Chain A
Amino acid sequence: MWVREGSEVERPSWAPVDVDVSRPSSARVYDYYLGGAHNFAVDRAVAEQTLRLMPGLDQVMRLNRAFLRRSVRMLVRSGVTQFLDLGAGIPTAGNVHEVAQAENPAARVLYVDVDPVAVAHSNTMLAGNERAAALQADIRDPKRIFDEAQRGGVLELDRPVAVLMNFVLHFVPDSDDPEGVVAVYRQLMSEGSYLVLSHAGFDSESDPPSGWASAVDLYDREVSVLHFRRSDRVARLFSGFDLLEPGVVRLPLWRPDPDEEVPGDAHRYLGFAGVGRKPCR
């Protein structure tokens, strides 16, 4: 009726998303950089190509994953038991629920990703885990995510929650108002909640890593458009939150492990991170 043979009526925008594995996905490229095999040839080809243009990119991804581990562990130790992981990607080593539940088995996690494959895999992996689940949603739709999270029963959002936005907001263009999106989350979060955020970018005073421009071009073209932002801009995303020490810093500089040797050129690493807390009035 709607679709006649030979030609196709355009699918309404709210219909289920397509599953197209002929194109690389940022979740699977990320998995590849972390050493996973949850990826396809198209993903690996782009990942390798990008890496050749910008050696050390895989290192940045691993630093981001390490920041995730450090921040989650820190938050669980300060009593946070609920996590909303936005742009969670494909489950791999050091998933949030593993890190958190290793510290506190009562910790609860809801993974959110726009990639239906990542979500399908998460759900398979989490089957039987009452304290973790995955939801397919666009992070630019905070109200829907909070509604579904509340309805799903994994999280109790009238209590503090840590909202994680690791390496995801750089996929949101300025035209979609990333500050505004974060502000809506802030309004929805109860007092005492946390925002954990990391974001690709560099400041003008430090040289961008060699080859970054062509690497970004390639990534934009093949995977998803990246929006690099400077640290002051990243810090602005935390407005309304009290930034925890040391503020918005390069990924490896955010509360390194005590025995960790921070590399001397850490200030040139591509990407910033920070943790903020919604104050109690």
Chain B
Amino acid sequence: MTGWTKQRVPGMRSAVGDEVVAGVEAFAESWATAIIGTSYVPMTKAEVVDHLRGLTDLLVGALLTEPFRTAAAHEVGIRLVEAHFTGTETLDRTIQLMGDELLGELRRDGDPVLYSRIAALQGALAAGYAQSLRERTLDEQEAIREAVLDARDHAEAALRASEARFRAVFAEAAIGMGISDTDGNVLEVNQSLQDMLGYPASELRQRNLRSLMHEDDVASVWEFYEELVRGERDHFRVEKRFKRRDNQSVWTHLTISLVRDDDGRPAYQVAMVEDVTDRHLLQNRLRYQALHDPLTGLPNRALFLERLGKAFDTSVVSARVGLCYLDLDGFKVINDSLGHDIGDQLLVAVARRLDESVSGDGMLVARMGGDEFVILMEGSTGTQSIVDVADRVLTSLTGPVRIDGHELSVSASIGIVERAIEGTTSADVMRDADITLYWAKADGKSRWALYDPERNAREVARFTLSATMPAALERDEFYVDYQPLVRLEDSKILGVEALVRWQHPEFGRLAPDRFIELAEETGLIVPLGRWVLRKACQQARRWLDAFGDATPFVSVNLAVRQSRDPALVADVRQILAEAALPPHLLQLELTESAIMGTADEPLEALRALSDMGVRIAIDDFGTGYSNLAYLRHLPVHELKIAGSFMEGLRAADGADPVDAQIVSTLVSLAHALGLTVTAEGVETPAQAERLRRIGCDAGQGWLFARPGPPDHIEPLFS
């Protein structure tokens, strides 16, 4: 764009003298100062001066050369513009400077010829400048307009390319796409969508989106749609079914986006539709598989728990739920003896019978695993309805099942829970049903049991007690009370029965009936019994020291398990020795069943104890089954007649003849065998008097004294 020449007019130096050279130099300097800054020129000031010196040479050359011609000045005007001296003031200042200073700098002031030549050169320069600037301006205007056209072409080409790309994307996309206006009129659809719905574009374009509603659409789909069309939502994404032209359903993931106009008003909606039918079917199958038992085809544990959870989600305050928890009786035996294949077939048959005998809304039969099944009754109306179900189920299982030539009898036990949903949880219901099933099994199988909160509370308490008993023994929470055995003839105290108590930190004072049975079950009875025996012996020894010959014997209960404990004899011997108690001051009480049911070994133990001098009594005599023939061979010294026989002897005015006869017979029998007799549960003077008349040796009961600590009964000894 630039282009200037440093070339001087040839022959100048020879034609003019040093004065001219100096004048040119001075004028160029002034010229530069005058026009720098009138427009942008990409030169340093020195370069500008250099450039203008060349132009001054041209002007001066023309001025002083014969014949006079103005072409050089015209050229100077052109070259100024070429150097980008394009400002409006450039020419103004140049013309002015030429007139004012050029002749002066050349020391040729006042020369009228040169003066008129200056005017001519000014005119030529101005003409050259104007012509050049005009051309340059027109060129640049042309160039910028060209540039605008180029830029537009470029932009439009790019837009066309991008539109073509988009059309291709739309047309070729594997995903179904459609555009409709805000009224739902379909405007454009691509091939994929046509294929998916089975309609040609021409038909789809005549339809409204709302006509593509499916009867199974969830309400939210169309709520979202209305919100979108109103401009309250920019897009939404749902799973939706469409009905194809051939009436088949196609499952899709549908995304609808709102396109707004420049003012933000809803203009179009763009739908993207992905066919997920295969995935949906697969999901359904997987879900079915995940929620059903493959063997029986019944709903499995997961589905059952889901339904149970949903039943508890209800907002109906009074809603109730019923549950049968069923377990086959003796299934393991069948499995073990006939093989798993038969076992599995049996389960299938049972499942079918269950399914057939349970039907109706809100009913669900599920296999929990193994041979356990559940029946859920949602919206139960009361206990009877679920009990009826359990009865039907038990009845349905009564007929034998034929499998591979085997005729199998099958029964089941059922735990039933039926209650209001409020105040309970699905986990509570499951746990209680499980417990109740256990009760049904324990009560004899092939039956149902209904959940009983009191029974459950008892069992929980029993469990708590049995779990805390070992620690209680270590912490000395047990203690012993004593109750006298009184000779009826003269009211002398012959012996005292040691009765163990538990001062429980939580439940308070507990009588033996609350924990002895538990202790028997857990085996803790052995150490507990030993502990009571030691306490009683130590107490007897203290009494012996205090009362001498008046000291009664202590009578200590021996539980069945204790009587069979091989260490029994050694334990008794050691305890007596430790307490230094003469053996005849100890009596051991055993129940009929403990003595009669015993094999040889325990009997040996009793003989050894008896030989040692320890008294043996049969407790609660008359309530069990005694082999009377056997009785005479046993090492027994005393019978204690159970308190239940005393009831008939209670009244002051006349006794029950049967009870009286029984007691009388028992006393006669005992005496015939050489045994003494103590009646338990004596509460009235009339009872005592009757017993005395019958010939009963001793009595025990509230009439004489209640069980109490040693110091309460000691006053009675003397």
Residues of A within 8 A of B (CB): 1-2, 4, 7-10, 12, 15-19, 21, 28, 33-40, 59, 61-62, 65-66, 69, 90-95, 98-99, 116-121, 123-125, 257-261
Within the complex, which residue of A1, A16, A65, A95 is in contact with B158, where a contact is CB–CB below 8 Å? A16
A126 to B641, CA, bound (A): 132
The reply to whether A99 and B42 form a contact with Cβ atoms under 8 Å apart is: yes
Q: Which chain B residues in 1-19 approach chain A with CB under 8 Å?
A: 1-2
The reply to whether A260 and B144 form a contact with Cβ atoms under 8 Å apart is: no
The reply to whether B40 and A62 form a contact with Cβ atoms under 8 Å apart is: yes
* B268 on interface, CB distance cutoff 8 Å: yes
Measured CB to CB, the closest approach of chain B to A280, in angstroms, equals 31
* B316 on interface, CB distance cutoff 8 Å: no
Measured CB to CB, the closest approach of chain B to A196, in angstroms, equals 16
Contacts of B44 in A (CB 8 A): 257-260
> A21 with B148: in contact, given A36-B140, A37-B137 (CB under 8 Å)?
yes
Measured CB to CB, the closest approach of chain A to B266, in angstroms, equals 12
* B395 on interface, CB distance cutoff 8 Å: no
A164 to B1, CA, bound (A): 21
> A98 with B2: in contact, given A1-B167, A259-B46 (CB under 8 Å)?
yes
Contacts of A93 in B (CB 8 A): 1-2, 40-42, 84
The reply to whether A124 and B144 form a contact with Cβ atoms under 8 Å apart is: no
> B149-157, B306-314, B456-464, B664-672: which lies at the A interface?
B149-157
* B520 on interface, CB distance cutoff 8 Å: no
> A2 with B166: in contact, given A95-B1, A120-B150 (CB under 8 Å)?
yes
The reply to whether A38 and B143 form a contact with Cβ atoms under 8 Å apart is: yes
Residues of B within 8 A of A (CB): 1-2, 37, 39-42, 44-46, 84, 86-87, 136-137, 140-141, 143-144, 146-148, 150-152, 154-156, 158-159, 162-163, 166-167, 170, 179, 187-188, 259-262, 267-268
Measured CB to CB, the closest approach of chain B to A253, in angstroms, equals 16
The reply to whether A123 and B150 form a contact with Cβ atoms under 8 Å apart is: yes
The 8 closest A-B pairs by CB, nearest first: A94-B42, A35-B39, A121-B147, A16-B158, A120-B150, A93-B84, A37-B140, A116-B151
Interface of chain B, main secondary structure: helix
Contacts of A90 in B (CB 8 A): 144, 147
Within the complex, which residue of A15, A59, A121 is in contact with B146, where a contact is CB–CB below 8 Å? A121
Contacts of A19 in B (CB 8 A): 148, 151-152, 155
A92 to B86, CA, bound (A): 12
The reply to whether B148 and A15 form a contact with Cβ atoms under 8 Å apart is: no
Contacts of A95 in B (CB 8 A): 1
Closest residue on chain B to residue A261 by CB atoms: B45
> A16 with B159: in contact, given A35-B40, A37-B140, A116-B151 (CB under 8 Å)?
yes
Contacts of B179 in A (CB 8 A): 1
A258 to B49, CA, bound (A): 14
The reply to whether B45 and A2 form a contact with Cβ atoms under 8 Å apart is: no
Closest residue on chain A to residue B158 by CB atoms: A16
A119 to B163, CA, bound (A): 23
A to B CB contacts below 8 Å, 20 in the list: A2-B163, A2-B167, A19-B152, A19-B155, A35-B87, A36-B86, A38-B147, A40-B144, A59-B37, A62-B40, A65-B42, A90-B144, A93-B41, A99-B42, A116-B154, A120-B146, A120-B148, A121-B143, A121-B147, A258-B46
A8 to B140, CA, bound (A): 35
Report which residue of B37, B41, B84, B147 has the largest number of chain A beta carbons within 10 angstroms of its beta carbon. B147
The reply to whether A120 and B2 form a contact with Cβ atoms under 8 Å apart is: no
Closest residue on chain A to residue B88 by CB atoms: A35
Contacts of A259 in B (CB 8 A): 44-46
Measured CB to CB, the closest approach of chain A to B405, in angstroms, equals 74
Closest residue on chain A to residue B149 by CB atoms: A120
Within the complex, which residue of A35, A69, A117 is in contact with B151, where a contact is CB–CB below 8 Å? A117
The reply to whether A120 and B42 form a contact with Cβ atoms under 8 Å apart is: no
Contacts of B39 in A (CB 8 A): 34-35, 62
A1 to B706, CA, bound (A): 106
Contacts of A69 in B (CB 8 A): 42
The reply to whether A9 and B84 form a contact with Cβ atoms under 8 Å apart is: no
Measured CB to CB, the closest approach of chain B to A157, in angstroms, equals 25
Measured CB to CB, the closest approach of chain A to B142, in angstroms, equals 10
Measured CB to CB, the closest approach of chain B to A102, in angstroms, equals 8
A117 to B150, CA, bound (A): 8
The reply to whether B40 and A124 form a contact with Cβ atoms under 8 Å apart is: no
Contacts of A94 in B (CB 8 A): 2, 40-42, 84
The reply to whether A124 and B150 form a contact with Cβ atoms under 8 Å apart is: yes
Contacts of A118 in B (CB 8 A): 147
Contacts of A7 in B (CB 8 A): 261, 267
A149 to B40, CA, bound (A): 29
A257 to B268, CA, bound (A): 63
The reply to whether B267 and A9 form a contact with Cβ atoms under 8 Å apart is: yes
Contacts of A18 in B (CB 8 A): 155
A44 to B259, CA, bound (A): 40
Closest residue on chain A to residue B86 by CB atoms: A35
Contacts of A117 in B (CB 8 A): 144, 147-148, 151
Contacts of B259 in A (CB 8 A): 9-10
The reply to whether A39 and B1 form a contact with Cβ atoms under 8 Å apart is: no
Measured CB to CB, the closest approach of chain B to A37, in angstroms, equals 4
Measured CB to CB, the closest approach of chain B to A252, in angstroms, equals 12
Closest residue on chain B to residue A64 by CB atoms: B40
A18 to B154, CA, bound (A): 10
A34 to B159, CA, bound (A): 34
The reply to whether B151 and A15 form a contact with Cβ atoms under 8 Å apart is: no
The reply to whether B45 and A260 form a contact with Cβ atoms under 8 Å apart is: yes
Closest residue on chain B to residue A62 by CB atoms: B40
Contacts of A61 in B (CB 8 A): 40
The reply to whether B143 and A16 form a contact with Cβ atoms under 8 Å apart is: no
Within the complex, which residue of B37, B84, B155 is in contact with A16, where a contact is CB–CB below 8 Å? B155
A2 to B188, CA, bound (A): 9
Contacts of B84 in A (CB 8 A): 35, 92-94
A95 to B40, CA, bound (A): 12
A40 to B147, CA, bound (A): 12
Closest residue on chain A to residue B166 by CB atoms: A2
Within the complex, which residue of A16, A21, A38, A66 is in contact with B162, where a contact is CB–CB below 8 Å? A16
